[in-house]
Chains A and B, each alone.
Chain A
Amino acid sequence: MAQTEDTDTVQPLLQQFQQLFFISKIAGILPQDLEKFRSRNLMEKSRNGMLYMLGTLILYVLLYNILIYSFGEEDRTLKASQSTLTFVIGLFLTYIGLIMMATDQLTALRNQGRIGEIYERIRLVDERLYKEKCVMDNSTIGRRIRIMLVMTVIFELSILLATYLKLVDYSQWMSLLWVVSAIPTFINTLDKIWFAVSLYALKERFEAINATLEELVATHEKYKLWLQGDQETPPQLDSSQPPQYDSNLEYLYKELGGLDMGSIGRNSVSGSGKNKVAPVAHSMNSFGEQIDAATGKPPPNPLASNMVHESELGNAAKVEDKLNNLCQVHDEICEIGKAMNELWSYPILSLMAYGFLIFTAQLYFLYCATQFQSIPSLFRSAKNPFITVIVLSYTSGKCVYLIYLSWKTSQASKRTGISLHKCGVVADDNLLYEIVNHLSLKLLNHSVDFSACGFFTLDMETLYGVSGGITSYLIILIQFNLAAQQAKEAIQTFNSLNDTAGLVGAATDMDNGSSTLHDLVTTTMLTPTG
């Protein structure tokens, strides 16, 4: 009976993924079985799905290559005129989207057995949390998925349509192939939505643990107040004590603070009672009294008519199990996070590489376009600043959101320790202190940090480094571009001025160039990079 109740009340997380799964399945991102997912929310291996997925992968690669070929005619003339670096980088940049997509799909193929396990583990965690009276609400996740899907579609469509209408010559039927250019990013985004939403689910679980702990603290404070209320004043009166602290701030605190500040407020009343005792000689006695009041009173409480005031923290032995369980769940969530990170490590690495390259390239090509230089045909969206802004916000939004989310998740996991200590401090009981110390040491050793194959961690510091990298690359590229343009112009004017002395001029130019090279290399060697 208990079992069925558990399974009834704990909704599997995957229930919220129905639409996403359907779309991913159609697009060929996940090989798992559709029917089983629909009926039982299970992700199981499926041979047909695998074949279908491989088929889509090959189809996409083919289409993309045709696209590059058919739009690449301009590029062939470009190669002759333009610097080789721009061309090679352009070629690389055109394929990085494809590489990213292939990484996503192949990783999904590799992981097809293991993704299901992750969600199964999350379900088990939910069950354990449920046993600790902490019910997870998954409906926000469903909403989140829908919002993300809509955002993706809007972004993709706006980029595609705007570029198609403004920058592609749509008189030829081949231009319809331009639609293919959106496929890699779309597939990648869908894949990342899976990751982001699962990560968000983990973060919610961490927050649920924290909330449970905070609630323990809050109830214990109420309980303590109630005990004090026996001796002094009822707790309702604490709001009608304007001389205690300023009425304005009291007002603000009520107005703005909401619920959780309320708990702090009550804390302050009990705390202020202790703060009053300043002189050393007296304090001891009064504290001694208070200890008696705190420890001696609760168990034989005769006035237990009001059953609302009951605190779990009062009973250390009882609460130990609960804290232990929460700690274990915390560890399990950390482990799930690590496993998830491992599953998605290559896609994330490729996404970050893609984001960095595309961001830099798009800005650089935007600059090139403003200088009326030719740019690779696949980056024609850079010709229009408005489309560029959309592309940049789409790409960077994906990367930054993932980074931000993983940072937030690890912050949430670190908060658990703080909440745990609050429990200890509020209860002020030796046995509980021991438990808290033990668990707090454990929590210090639970680590959930997300990294891309161990190359770099996904946190805000990386974002700082990446933005610094993008800036310096842009400055280097633009400066060189500028210098090359100026050199070209200068040579042309120079040549037209005196044709005969051309060779001599070239020789001096070269001298100059190498000395600049020498200068720059020495200076850059001396300055630290990044």
Chain B
Amino acid sequence: MSGRLCRVLQFHLRLYQWLGFHGLPLPGDGNPCGMRKRLMAWSLLLLISLSALIAACLTSGEEFLFLDDMFGRVNDALKYVFAELAILAIYLETLSSQRHLANFWWLHSKLSRKVGVVSLRSEVQQFRRYLLTLYGMMLSELVIYLGLWQVQPLSHHMLLFWSTYEPLVWLTYMRNVQFVLHLELLRQQLANLERELGLLAEYSRFASETGRSFPNFEVFLRRRLLQKQRLYCDIYDMFKCFQSAFKFSILAVLLTINIRIAVDCYFMYYSIYKNVPNLNSYLIVPALLEIPAFIYASQSCMVILPRIAHQLHNIVTDSACCSCPDLSLQIQNFSLQLLHQPVRIDCLGLTTLDCGLLTRIACSVGTYMIYTIQFMPKFSPQYI
């Protein structure tokens, strides 16, 4: 059963298959070739139908867009256009970058070969971050919707707009959570590596402090290190595969969520200023949570690297029982390898996805808001 994925993964990957995000058959599927073709066709179908939906929304005379006011209309149109962009990026990438995705999962199955059957509980424990992100997001969205419907009567425009726009938003969120899943897998591998290196460091410290070890201890250490080096190489490949499998959609999803936040913030201010009661703005709360969730996942991947290097250098080389020049050579080699292969998650090299990005996003949204808010209301109502 070594090739099988654990149940949590199996379930969620199946979910992504249904959403058209995961164009690969899962282990255990019969006739993988046909399955893959069917999945690709399904993705294509989804892409075409969603694009058609957006096109229809943008062009139809119905009240999909906010009609009363040119400004609100442009805002809504902007949201649709960027949603279309995201959908396009997501599905095209699903169709085109299967090779990298396959490579990723292949490396994953290679790296995490488990013995025996793991209980569901421990699996949930293992993926708790991811599960929390996914279900927390769904729940908060749902709660806010229900709350809003209780408070606010649903107008025709709102019904049309939200019934068409919400699925798109939901798809981008799911894609975002899919990134989080992949990042979580990557993080687990890195954390494993770090733990094992920590163990090695502890062995060596124990051996050097007590002076007790078995013969050929340093050869053993060296072998283990070499194995870890190979492991790191594979993890790095996995990371590269993740990057190339998702580069465009990371950009598109982040941009879409970002634009939505900026536009909604502005619109919120606008409606407050014009004294239009509008509670829709609370809908951006899940969007506000999406970006940090993703960035937190990528950040927690990246911070492990210095810790790995730290553990590596904790391995004691000069001691009474083991003073092996080969070992220090190996350590040097590994640390140089770490220098050459930094795990730096960035979308297309544009910007590193760490917590600094959050500040930058907040800054840019704030600056734009100030520019726009400074002008729009000050002049118009004063004179007219």
Does A touch B (CB under 8 Å) in the complex? yes
Chain A interfacial positions (CB closer than 8 Å to B):
243-249, 251-253, 255-258, 261, 264, 267-268, 271-272, 274-275, 280-281, 283-284, 287-288, 291, 407, 411, 414, 417-418, 420-422, 424-425, 428, 430, 433-434, 436-437, 440-441, 443-444, 459-461, 463-464, 468, 471-472, 475-476, 479-480, 482-483, 486-487, 489-491, 493-494, 512, 516, 519-520, 523-524, 527-529
**Known contacts A460-B348, A476-B371, A516-B374; A421/B382 CB under 8 A:** no
Minimum CB distance partner of A286 in chain B: B223
Tell whether B211 is near chain A: CB-to-CB under 8 Å: no
Q: Is the CB of A248 within 8 A of B368?
A: no
- Contact residues, B85-103 vs A (CB, 8 A): 98-99, 102-103
Q: Is the CB of A444 within 8 A of B220?
A: no
Q: Is the CB of A479 within 8 A of B374?
A: yes
**Known contacts A246-B109, A248-B32; A417/B216 CB under 8 A:** no
Q: Is the CB of A523 within 8 A of B25?
A: no
Contacts of B98 in A (CB 8 A): 256
Question: Closest Cβ of chain B: how far from A162's Cβ, in Å?
Answer: 24
Choice from B102, B110, B214 contacting A252 with Cβ under 8 Å: B102
Kindly specify which of B55-63, B170-178, B332-340 makes contact with the partner chain: B332-340
**Known contacts A257-B99, A472-B368, A479-B371; A494/B106 CB under 8 A:** no
**Known contacts A257-B102, A460-B349; A268/B219 CB under 8 A:** no
Choice from A418, A490, A520, A527 contacting B379 with Cβ under 8 Å: A490
Q: Is the CB of B348 within 8 A of A443?
A: no
Minimum CB distance partner of A492 in chain B: B383
Contacts A280-B220, A482-B375 supplied; 11 other A-B pairs, CB < 8 Å: A252-B32, A271-B227, A283-B223, A291-B219, A411-B349, A418-B337, A436-B336, A440-B336, A479-B374, A493-B384, A527-B367
Contacts of B351 in A (CB 8 A): 461, 464
A-B contact pairs, 11 of them (CB 8 A): A244-B2, A245-B113, A257-B103, A257-B106, A271-B230, A272-B110, A281-B214, A288-B216, A430-B329, A461-B349, A490-B383
Tell whether B142 is near chain A: CB-to-CB under 8 Å: no
Contacts of A519 in B (CB 8 A): 374
Minimum CB distance partner of A428 in chain B: B226
Q: Is the CB of B363 within 8 A of A520?
A: no
Q: Interface SS of chain B: helix, strand, loop or mixed? A: helix
**Known contacts A245-B3, A253-B103, A284-B216; A461/B350 CB under 8 A:** yes
Q: Is the CB of B382 within 8 A of A490?
A: yes
Minimum CB distance partner of B100 in chain A: A256
Contacts of A472 in B (CB 8 A): 364, 367-368, 371
Q: Is the CB of A421 within 8 A of B220?
A: no
- Contact residues, B347-384 vs A (CB, 8 A): 348-351, 363-364, 366-368, 370-372, 374-376, 378-380, 382-384
Q: Is the CB of B113 within 8 A of A528?
A: no
Q: Is the CB of A425 within 8 A of B340?
A: no
**Known contacts A252-B32, A284-B220, A440-B340; A494/B109 CB under 8 A:** no
Tell whether B24 is near chain A: CB-to-CB under 8 Å: yes
Contacts of B3 in A (CB 8 A): 245-249
Q: Is the CB of B372 within 8 A of A437?
A: no
Question: Closest Cβ of chain B: how far from A107's Cβ, in Å?
Answer: 28
Q: Is the CB of B363 within 8 A of A245?
A: no
Q: Is the CB of A436 within 8 A of B349?
A: no
Question: Closest Cβ of chain B: how far from A177's Cβ, in Å?
Answer: 38
Cα–Cα, bound, A283→B310 (Å): 25
Q: Is the CB of A483 within 8 A of B379?
A: yes
Chain B interfacial positions (CB closer than 8 Å to A):
2-4, 24-29, 32-33, 36, 98-99, 102-103, 105-107, 109-110, 113, 214, 216-217, 219-220, 223, 226-227, 229-230, 233, 236-237, 326, 329-330, 332-333, 336-337, 339-341, 346, 348-351, 363-364, 366-368, 370-372, 374-376, 378-380, 382-384
Cα–Cα, bound, A524→B103 (Å): 48
Cα–Cα, bound, A472→B364 (Å): 9
Q: Is the CB of A268 within 8 A of B216?
A: no
Minimum CB distance partner of B329 in chain A: A433
Contacts of B233 in A (CB 8 A): 421-422, 425
Candidate in A253, A476, A487, A493 with the most chain B CB atoms within 10 angstroms: A253
**Known contacts A249-B27, A257-B99; A527/B366 CB under 8 A:** yes
Cα–Cα, bound, A243→B4 (Å): 11
Minimum CB distance partner of A253 in chain B: B106
Choice from A256, A281, A421 contacting B333 with Cβ under 8 Å: A421
Q: Is the CB of A480 within 8 A of B340?
A: no
Contacts of B378 in A (CB 8 A): 483, 512, 516
Q: Is the CB of B329 within 8 A of A486?
A: no
Q: Is the CB of B102 within 8 A of A528?
A: no
Q: Is the CB of B339 within 8 A of A444?
A: yes
**Known contacts A428-B226, A486-B379; A527/B340 CB under 8 A:** no
Q: Is the CB of A444 within 8 A of B372?
A: no
Question: Closest Cβ of chain A: how far from B222's Cβ, in Å?
Answer: 9
Q: Is the CB of A249 within 8 A of B371?
A: no
Q: Is the CB of B333 within 8 A of A433?
A: yes
Q: Is the CB of B340 within 8 A of A414?
A: yes
Contacts of A523 in B (CB 8 A): 370, 374
**Known contacts A274-B227, A275-B227, A414-B340; A524/B109 CB under 8 A:** no
Question: Closest Cβ of chain B: how far from A343's Cβ, in Å?
Answer: 25
Question: Closest Cβ of chain B: how far from A307's Cβ, in Å?
Answer: 28
Question: Closest Cβ of chain B: how far from A490's Cβ, in Å?
Answer: 3
Contacts of A479 in B (CB 8 A): 371-372, 374-376
Question: Closest Cβ of chain B: how far from A78's Cβ, in Å?
Answer: 24
Minimum CB distance partner of A481 in chain B: B375
Choice from B103, B229, B336 contacting A441 with Cβ under 8 Å: B336
Cα–Cα, bound, A529→B368 (Å): 11
Question: Closest Cβ of chain B: how far from A296's Cβ, in Å?
Answer: 15
Cα–Cα, bound, A434→B382 (Å): 77
Minimum CB distance partner of B229 in chain A: A425
Question: Closest Cβ of chain B: how far from A436's Cβ, in Å?
Answer: 6
Cα–Cα, bound, A163→B239 (Å): 47
Contacts of A443 in B (CB 8 A): 340
**Known contacts A284-B219, A287-B220; A252/B4 CB under 8 A:** no
**Known contacts A245-B2, A245-B110, A472-B367; A256/B102 CB under 8 A:** yes
Question: Closest Cβ of chain A: how far from B53's Cβ, in Å?
Answer: 24
Q: 4 smallest A-B Cβ distances: which pairs?
A: A246-B3, A490-B383, A460-B349, A417-B340
Choice from B109, B227, B339, B384 contacting A249 with Cβ under 8 Å: B109
Question: Closest Cβ of chain A: how far from B262's Cβ, in Å?
Answer: 10
Cα–Cα, bound, A420→B339 (Å): 13
Q: Is the CB of A424 within 8 A of B333?
A: yes
**Known contacts A246-B27, A249-B27, A516-B378; A475/B372 CB under 8 A:** yes
Cα–Cα, bound, A491→B384 (Å): 10
**Known contacts A424-B333, A436-B333; A418/B341 CB under 8 A:** yes
**Known contacts A418-B340, A437-B336, A460-B348; A425/B371 CB under 8 A:** no
Choice from B349, B370, B372, B379 contacting A524 with Cβ under 8 Å: B370
Contacts of A486 in B (CB 8 A): 379-380, 383
Minimum CB distance partner of A505 in chain B: B383
Choice from A248, A434, A437, A468 contacting B26 with Cβ under 8 Å: A248
Cα–Cα, bound, A468→B384 (Å): 34
Contacts of B110 in A (CB 8 A): 245, 268, 272
Question: Closest Cβ of chain B: how far from A237's Cβ, in Å?
Answer: 18
Contacts of B24 in A (CB 8 A): 252
Cα–Cα, bound, A441→B337 (Å): 10
Contacts of B36 in A (CB 8 A): 252
Contacts of B219 in A (CB 8 A): 284, 287-288, 291
Candidate in B236, B326, B364 with the most chain A CB atoms within 10 angstroms: B364
Cα–Cα, bound, A264→B379 (Å): 65
Contacts of B366 in A (CB 8 A): 527
Minimum CB distance partner of A278 in chain B: B115
Q: Is the CB of B226 within 8 A of A251?
A: no
Question: Closest Cβ of chain A: how far from B259's Cβ, in Å?
Answer: 11
**Known contacts A245-B2, A253-B102, A461-B351; A437/B32 CB under 8 A:** no
